Structure 1
Amino acid sequence: MESGAKGNAGPLGHDASAYAQRQEGLSPEPLRDAAWSVAGQRAFGVVLDVGSGSGGWIRRLQRNPAVERILSTDIHDAGASRLPGVEFQQRDVSRDALPWGDASVDWVFAIEVLEHLANPRHFVKEAFRVLKPGGHLFFTTPNNDSLTARLSFLVRGYFPAFCEQDYRDSGHITPITELDARRMAVEAGFQSIHFDYPLPGRIPRSSVYWQRLLPGLRGRWWSDGLFALLTRPR
């Protein structure tokens, strides 16, 4: 999900008119590659993609033969509804109920979505509701626990993915830490909570990754992305 607001469109991240102004946005392919390796190729049954945009992640899911049915929702239809076999519903997941029944979905995906939401807790609770027992919620969001992110906040007062340009042009309004994500998951009812940090991380004030200098660096301190896999109890 991406947004850009003009005039009096209102606060970024939960105003449909703001999202209507956006350019066709795609998450970086290396991020999708990593998300596919961690969770996408494991998906099966009924799958819900939240914040579908133009449908880049859906196209990946359609390559998975274990996926039987694809549901999709976004605050603005940027093209996902036109993909064959996709059941699209336009919703603001910060405040609206997901338009599917209790315990009806096997997997929920939210790739780079939560940082755009005014109320991510509402969405996580709704994801729990629609998941079947044993179902999974997988989301990715910028990692605000990395060394680079912590130094940025200490020196500049904001996290790297939440500067003025990110707020204005991309609608990044809600930074989430691992602690925030864990608390939201527990509040919603999830018990199995797993975090992963497969992406590389940039050295402060540069475009160079730590891993170019020290290839073995892994984990929360050295990655630009937080991946979370939450499982509803059976």
Structure 2
Amino acid sequence: MNKEKRLTVEPMIPKPRARKEIHQAVTLIIEKLNLTLGSKVLDVPMGPGALSVYLHHQGYKVYGADIDLHQSAAIEPSIIRKRADLNKAIPFESDFFDLVVSLEGIEHLENPFQFVREVSRVLRPGGYFILSTPNICNLEERLNYLFRGCFYRFISPEEFKQNGSGFDHQNLMTWVEMKQILEWNELRPLFLEKDKIKWKQLIFLWPIGLLVWFYGRLQPPERRKKYCMDDNESFAVIFGGSSLISVSRKSLGKKT
């Protein structure tokens, strides 16, 4: 319990920009990966540095990258920070990190394919990638799409010019799209996790969830595989909270 609360009660750690439920879920996932002390971890985008400081206190060698380093200026100088436009190159050498963590960042990028390609490049073979992004595949968001016809609001050219790239959700993705980007870049998804359970969604929308599940059961195996129905019918996706957390591992490469 102390580990779950450490991010919110320890005064030396900056306040997380992402919701505390995401940080709590991700820190528990990292603990289960059993990385050795001193493993090299990249927090990208690092924001104020809440996760970076936490991982530093756990004994990892932590690096961070963000387009705005002013917000993390007060954290420990032993955490190496680099400025980076994540639509372009990540400024670290190839095969360098044991773990890359990206919380609520990819949906703000113009070029998510480039970002994941760079994540794969800087990860060593066998390294892990933890990615969180808004869950637009849960039942609530599916119903919103049915009635609105879109997953998010329209961002005008004037608003984009005024605020610049990254100020809002520019690239929300379904799990099928996320999985496609990951696997195209030698990152094999291991499992999905939720940030929290939306109890109102579970209580009021479970009949729709049951209908979705029955529909999926009626589909032939090739169709289920084509649309990743095993994942899309999972509890983490359908009844999960506002964010979906995926854990992937980089291919070890071909043996010679």
TM-score (norm 2): 0.69
Give the match for residue 19 of structure 1: none
Query: Structure 1 pair 100/173, CA: closer, same or farther in 2 (3 Å)?
Result: same
- 1:199 is displaced (CA, Å) by 1.8
1:104 paired with 2:96, answer: yes
Question: Unpaired runs of 5+ in structure 1?
Answer: 1-23, 203-207
- 2:239 corresponds to: 222
**Equivalent-residue separation in structure 1 for 2:102 and 2:110 (angstroms):** 15
**Distance (whole Å) between structure 1 residues aligned to residue 69 and residue 46 of structure 2:** 8
Identity of aligned residues (%): 22
Where do 1:78-117 residues align within 5 Å?
Answer: 78-84=70-76, 85-94=78-87, 96-117=88-109
Displacement after TM superposition at 1:196 (Å):
2.1
> Does the aligned pair in 2 maintain the 1:47–1:107 contact within 8 Å?
yes
Asked if residue 34 in structure 1 is aligned to residue 34 in structure 2, the reply is no
1:81–1:88 contact (8 Å) kept in structure 2 = no
Corresponding position: 1:231 with 2:222? no
| Cα pair 1:91 1:98 within 8 Å, conserved | yes
The runs of 5 or more residues in structure 2 that have no matched partner are: 1-14, 207-233
Matches within 5 A, 1:123-138: 123-138=115-130
Q: Deviations over 1:51-80 (max 9, x none)?
A: 111111112212312x1x111111112432
SS at match of 2:121: helix
Cα drift, residue 131 of structure 1: 0.6
1:76 partner amino acid: D
The aligned amino acid for 1:141 is T
2:191 is matched with 194
Number of aligned residues: 198
SS for the counterpart of 2:187 is coil
Matches within 5 A, 1:35-184: 35-39=26-30, 42=33, 43-44=35-36, 45-65=39-59, 67=60, 69-84=61-76, 85-94=78-87, 96-159=88-151, 162-163=152-153, 171-184=168-181
Q: Distance in 1 between matches of 2:70 and 2:149?
A: 33
Q: CA deviation at 1:102?
A: 0.9
| Alpha-carbon shift at residue 213 of structure 1 (Å) | 9.5
1:39 partner SS: helix
Larger of the two Rg values belongs to structure: 2
| Structure-1 separation of matches of 2:67 and 2:25 | 25
Q: Is the 8 A contact 1:192 1:233 kept in 2?
A: no
> Quick check: which one's helix share is greater?
2
Q: Does the 8 Å CA contact 1:41/1:64 hold for their aligned counterparts?
A: no
Normalised by the length of structure 1, the TM-score is 0.75
Residue 39 of structure 1 aligns with an amino acid whose one-letter code is I
SS at match of 1:126: helix
